[in-house]
Amino acid sequence: MSNVVNLNKFRKAKAKAEAKQRAETNVRLHGRTKAERALEAKQQELLERRVDGALLTGPAVHDGDDAQE
């Protein structure tokens, strides 16, 4: 005779394994902490300020081609 299998436990174990697999995939795709995102945003802002500060002309100055008022 074979062993009796509790189908409810089997179903829950299968669902848990699938959820773990989805979580691992999401970590690989989107796995950055809030601190890492904040650091990257701060670095991006600093870079933009440095670039804007190094411009020879202001950001609102046009070359005159599209300003025909």
**14-20-25 Cα angle (round to 5):** 130
Is 39 inside any structural domain?
Answer: yes
Tens-digit pLDDT profile for residues 40-56 = 999 999 999 998 887 77
Q: How many CA atoms lie within 13 A of 59 on its CB side?
A: 6
Q: What is the DSSP string of 35-62?
A: HHHHHHHHHHHHHHHHHHHT-SS-TT--
pTM of the model: 0.43
* Number of domains, the chain: 1
Is 65 inside any structural domain?
Answer: no
Enclosing H/E stretch for 1: none
Q: Look at residue 54 in the predicted model and tell me its pLDDT.
A: 79
Is 69 inside any structural domain?
Answer: no
Range of the domain at 28: 9-52
Is 2 inside any structural domain?
Answer: no
Q: Look at residue 52 in the predicted model and tell me its pLDDT.
A: 85
Q: Look at residue 53 in the predicted model and tell me its pLDDT.
A: 80
Of 6, 27, 5, residue with least CA distance to 19: 27
| pLDDT lower than 70: segments of the chain | 1, 58-69
Is 58 inside any structural domain?
Answer: no
Q: Look at residue 32 in the predicted model and tell me its pLDDT.
A: 85
Is 1 inside any structural domain?
Answer: no
